[in-house]
Homo-oligomer: A and B are copies of this chain.
Amino acid sequence: MKDQNPELATTERYIGIGELARESGCKPETVRYYEQIGLLPSAPRNEGNQRRYTTASIRRLTFIRHARDFGFSVEAVRELLQMADYPDMPCEEIDRLAKRHLAEVEARLARLTSVRDELKRMINQCAGGSVGQCYIIDVLSDHRLCHQTGPHGGADVIG
Total copies of this chain within the assembly? 2
**Cα-based distance from A31 to B5 in the complex (angstroms):** 57
Partner of A105, one of B67, B73, B158: B158
Is the Cβ of B94 less than 8 Å from the Cβ of A143?
no
Interface size class of A (residues with CB under 8 A): 35 or more
Q: Which A residues contact B (CB, under 8 angstroms)?
A: 25, 59, 62-63, 66-73, 80, 83-84, 86-92, 94-95, 98-99, 101-102, 105-106, 108-109, 112-113, 115-116, 118-120, 122-123, 126, 128-134, 136-137, 139-141, 143, 151-155, 158-159
Is the Cβ of A95 less than 8 Å from the Cβ of B59?
no
Whose C-beta in chain B lies nearest to the C-beta of A69?
B152
Is the Cβ of A73 less than 8 Å from the Cβ of B159?
yes
Is the Cβ of B154 less than 8 Å from the Cβ of A115?
no
A87-B132 CB under 8 A given contacts A66-B141, A159-B73: yes
The 10 closest A-B pairs by CB, nearest first: A71-B158, A87-B132, A91-B134, A69-B152, A68-B155, A71-B159, A102-B119, A91-B131, A87-B131, A105-B116
